[in-house]
Amino acid sequence: MEVTRQNFKDSLCPIYSAIEEADFLAIDGEFSGISDGPSVSALTNGMDTPGERYVKLRKHSMDFLLFQFGLCTFRYDQSQSKYLMKAFNFYIFPKPFSRNSPDIKFICQSSSIDFLASQGFDFNKVFRSGIPYLNQEEESQLREQYEERRSQVNGAGTPSYISPNSCKGPVNVPDEHKDFIGRVVEKVDALLNSSEKSKERFIQISKVDEEERRRMEQQKYEREQEEMNDAVGFSRVIHAVSKSGKLVVGHNMLLDVMHTIHQFYCSLPEELDDFKEVTMCVFPRLLDTKLMASTQPFKELITNTSLAELEKQLKEKPFKAPRVECSEGFQSYDTASERLHEAGYDAYITGLCFISMANYLGSFLTPPRSHISARSKLLEPFYNKLFLMRVIDIPYLNISGPDLQPKRDHVLYVTFPKEWKTSDLYQLFSAFGNIQVSWLDDTSAFVSLSQLEQVQIAVNTSQYAESYRIQTYAEYLQAKQKNTNINRKWAEDGWADASYKSAGMTSTCSRAHNRSLTGKRSLSPTQEDQNSDFTGIADSNWSNYSNPETKKIKRDGMLLCSFRPVEGTPSTSPTEAEAESQEADTWPKTSANENKGRQEAVVSTVGRTQPYRSFPGISERKETSVVFI
């Protein structure tokens, strides 16, 4: 169901009841862009900590507009053993609703806009018919404005036809205007003493008795309430989702969640921990299908976790296409005629993926079950863990607890002249076997060695080098923390929010898990997460993260530990890398700037060449991929 400014009010009741009756909700957002600053490869560095990643996304992604929101509600019908779904595709636009409303500015990124245009996205519908919204602060301000005006008008028994400014004492009327004002006063006096009902010139002035005045004020009050509801607009839908407390499913949903909170609730907090807290208030239960698909027992079975591919694979063995039907009176989506990147459709197939994967978990039960409820304890290990794009050793952002803290003792921080390319780094470390490069900027990168004992050798041999410098990851962190402190000291806003920051600082920068949760925070770290064998793994070869074996598990309701998400993201094969690059709405293609100095091998071929992303046989991550022109 397409929802615009025109049918929004009439759709609210059906939307509310769809949320109310649902077993779970799936969401998706389309944005006007991804990064207003760094290239996507810099925005998603493979060695980002969750805190660093959050800070970058908050800084460089939030000025884009979430202009299409998909909400798909799924209700399980026990009697028919199938899901009934209702899909809503909302167009969103911050149309200023009055002279005094905020005049929002948002950024558009050409590549994102161009991509959506190529998918047939209807921008006219966004800009002409988008539903407005207010965040909570704007809503309060508007409410106060209305209140203030009403109290001014009604305050101290002043009848509403007397100018509120009159209580401020006599207004000084300049000599040259006295004549004019005098004449106006005479006309108003004449009106009050005459039998005419009203008189119009620029302002209409009417006589009313007490009863009529009350009635008019009541009308005005009701009109204002309606105006206010109209202004709050789409935020009311998100409030309903939030209040329902239902499981909210998304695919690669970190940016969706950030944008949703930013646009319809409040500006995002500076620190990750505060963001987690806010998120848990707004969406108490989240599940990311991309993270789920990248985790045992799915990781082994699924070669490509991009949404469209995932949906296809989850129809095939060992999975089963879920039984989902469109509710009566609702538009159905046909997965055969793909409408990818329409938010409503993406939310729909995200829901399908979730159902397939959830049901697959039932096959491990004794006896096996073909349907697993969205409330099943089997799903708890996947709750509130949002997929982290392209981080090498931290698969997810843990919204309801502390993040994984991989050891990075095998990682070197290397600085070098800006002419250097990836090949120069391979050359430099040629003696150390396989390495992995994560570019930070033109003159620095992280280099992961496969052998921990080589780290000190590399650092030592670089001591007399002039053109480059090698530091351990620990040294890098120390220097960074020092810089952060200095910058903080000289930040424009002084020490205003220093206390607010301190907790986050610790969690971002400390490598051991020693962050003490402040009393203010309500996060309850799960013991499970800390039990992970992650710290042990980091000592071994980075490419050999162990995959805890899948055990047969018991019925719903029993405590199950074996689905703990697996550390390390799945290795990327060329096919995967290419398919993933199709998710261009989320991560558009490399731009000119980010490729600067990255083209380590330019192979000229005859005729038009195909983009080619990595050498077959070399397990290479995107950030170090070879670009052929």
Q: Supply 610's token pair.
A: 């195909």
- Please state, in angstroms and rounded to a whole number, the distance separating the CA atoms of residues 608 and 593: 23
Task: State which of residues 46, 50, 70, 94 lies at the interface with a second copy (CB under 8 A).
Answer: 94
Task: State which of residues 590, 621, 624, 625 lies at the interface with a second copy (CB under 8 A).
Answer: 590
Task: State which of residues 17, 77, 117, 520 lies at the interface with a second copy (CB under 8 A).
Answer: 117
Which one, 547 or 595, has the nearer CB to a second copy? 595
State the minimum distance, in angstroms, from the CB of residue 72 to a second copy: 25
Q: Does 468 bind a second copy (CB under 8 A)?
A: no
State the minimum distance, in angstroms, from the CB of residue 586 to a second copy: 15
Binding string, 247-276, against a second copy, x = CB under 8 A? ------------------------------
* CA-to-CA dists, residue 381 to 250, 289, 398, 414, angstroms: 16, 12, 11, 37
Cα Rg of the chain, angstroms: 30
Q: Does 221 bind a second copy (CB under 8 A)?
A: no
Q: Supply 433's token pair.
A: 């076997």
Which one, 340 or 523, has the nearer CB to a second copy? 340
Q: Does 387 bind a second copy (CB under 8 A)?
A: no
State the minimum distance, in angstroms, from the CB of residue 96 to a second copy: 5
- Find, among 237, 230, 227, 228, the residue nearest to 13 by Cα: 237
Which one, 16 or 628, has the nearer CB to a second copy? 628
Q: From 157-165, 334-342, 546-554, 559-567, give the range in contact with a second copy by CB under 8 A.
A: 157-165
Task: State which of residues 12, 188, 191, 208 lies at the interface with a second copy (CB under 8 A).
Answer: 208
Contact (Cβ atoms closer than 8 angstroms) between residue 488 and residue 498 = yes
Q: Does 499 bind a second copy (CB under 8 A)?
A: no
State the minimum distance, in angstroms, from the CB of residue 419 to a second copy: 12
Contact (Cβ atoms closer than 8 angstroms) between residue 587 and residue 255 = no
State the minimum distance, in angstroms, from the CB of residue 352 to a second copy: 29
Which one, 159 or 536, has the nearer CB to a second copy? 159
The full DSSP string for 567-619 is SSPPPPPHHHHHHHTT-TTTSPPPPHHHHTTT-------SSSPPP--S-TT--
Task: State which of residues 9, 20, 147, 149 lies at the interface with a second copy (CB under 8 A).
Answer: 149
Q: Does 495 bind a second copy (CB under 8 A)?
A: no
The full DSSP string for 502-539 is HHHHHHHH-SSS-PPPPTT------HHHHT-THHHHHH
Within 413-432, the residues that bind a second copy by CB under 8 A are 423, 426-427, 430
Q: Does 612 bind a second copy (CB under 8 A)?
A: yes
Contact (Cβ atoms closer than 8 angstroms) between residue 277 and residue 522 = yes
- Please state, in angstroms and rounded to a whole number, the distance separating the CA atoms of residues 159 and 399: 54
Q: What distance, in Å, lies between the first and last C-alpha atoms of the chain? A: 43
Q: Does 157 bind a second copy (CB under 8 A)?
A: no
Would you call the peptide bond into 570 cis, given omega within 30 degrees of 0 as the criterion?
no
Q: Does 206 bind a second copy (CB under 8 A)?
A: yes
State the minimum distance, in angstroms, from the CB of residue 587 to a second copy: 12
Q: From 203-211, 241-249, 382-390, 503-511, give the range in contact with a second copy by CB under 8 A.
A: 203-211
- Which residue's entry shows tokens 């195909």? 610
Q: Does 450 bind a second copy (CB under 8 A)?
A: no
Q: Does 464 bind a second copy (CB under 8 A)?
A: no
Q: Does 610 bind a second copy (CB under 8 A)?
A: yes
Amino acid in position 449? L
Task: State which of residues 12, 188, 191, 205 lies at the interface with a second copy (CB under 8 A).
Answer: 205
Within 429-448, the residues that bind a second copy by CB under 8 A are 430, 433-434
Task: State which of residues 160, 454, 530, 562 lies at the interface with a second copy (CB under 8 A).
Answer: 160
- Please state, in angstroms and rounded to a whole number, the distance separating the CA atoms of residues 398 and 394: 10
Q: Does 13 bind a second copy (CB under 8 A)?
A: no
State the minimum distance, in angstroms, from the CB of residue 623 to a second copy: 16
Which one, 142 or 253, has the nearer CB to a second copy? 142
State the minimum distance, in angstroms, from the CB of residue 486 to a second copy: 16
- Find, among 444, 388, 434, 436, the residue nearest to 622 by Cα: 436
Task: State which of residues 26, 65, 412, 537 lies at the interface with a second copy (CB under 8 A).
Answer: 65
- Please state, in angstroms and rounded to a whole number, the distance separating the CA atoms of residues 287 and 254: 10
Q: Does 33 bind a second copy (CB under 8 A)?
A: yes
* CA-to-CA dists, residue 192 to 92, 111, 136, 159, angstroms: 48, 65, 44, 15
Q: Does 561 bind a second copy (CB under 8 A)?
A: no
Which one, 16 or 106, has the nearer CB to a second copy? 106
Which one, 206 or 456, has the nearer CB to a second copy? 206
Contact (Cβ atoms closer than 8 angstroms) between residue 417 and residue 467 = yes
User: Which residues 6+ apart lie within 8 Å of 217 measured at CB?
Assistant: 153, 154, 160
Three-state DSSP at 454 gives helix
State the minimum distance, in angstroms, from the CB of residue 110 to a second copy: 5
Q: Does 210 bind a second copy (CB under 8 A)?
A: no
Q: Does 577 bind a second copy (CB under 8 A)?
A: no
Task: State which of residues 78, 79, 157, 175 lies at the interface with a second copy (CB under 8 A).
Answer: 175
Contact (Cβ atoms closer than 8 angstroms) between residue 568 and residue 613 = no
Q: Does 176 bind a second copy (CB under 8 A)?
A: yes
Contact (Cβ atoms closer than 8 angstroms) between residue 129 and residue 382 = no
User: Which residues 6+ apart lie within 8 Å of 436 measured at CB?
Assistant: 46, 392, 447, 448, 542, 621, 624
Q: Does 317 bind a second copy (CB under 8 A)?
A: no
Contact (Cβ atoms closer than 8 angstroms) between residue 542 and residue 392 = yes
Longest dimension (CA), the chain: 103
Task: State which of residues 108, 308, 340, 452 lies at the interface with a second copy (CB under 8 A).
Answer: 108
- Please state, in angstroms and rounded to a whole number, the distance separating the CA atoms of residues 415 and 444: 4
- Please state, in angstroms and rounded to a whole number, the distance separating the CA atoms of residues 388 and 51: 11
Task: State which of residues 203, 336, 496, 559 lies at the interface with a second copy (CB under 8 A).
Answer: 203
Q: Does 575 bind a second copy (CB under 8 A)?
A: no
The β-bridge relationship of strands 66-77 and 247-250 is: unpaired
Q: Does 105 bind a second copy (CB under 8 A)?
A: yes
User: Which residues 6+ apart lie within 8 Å of 236 measured at CB?
Assistant: 12, 229
Which one, 197 or 552, has the nearer CB to a second copy? 197
Q: From 75-83, 240-248, 347-355, 587-595, give the range in contact with a second copy by CB under 8 A.
A: 587-595
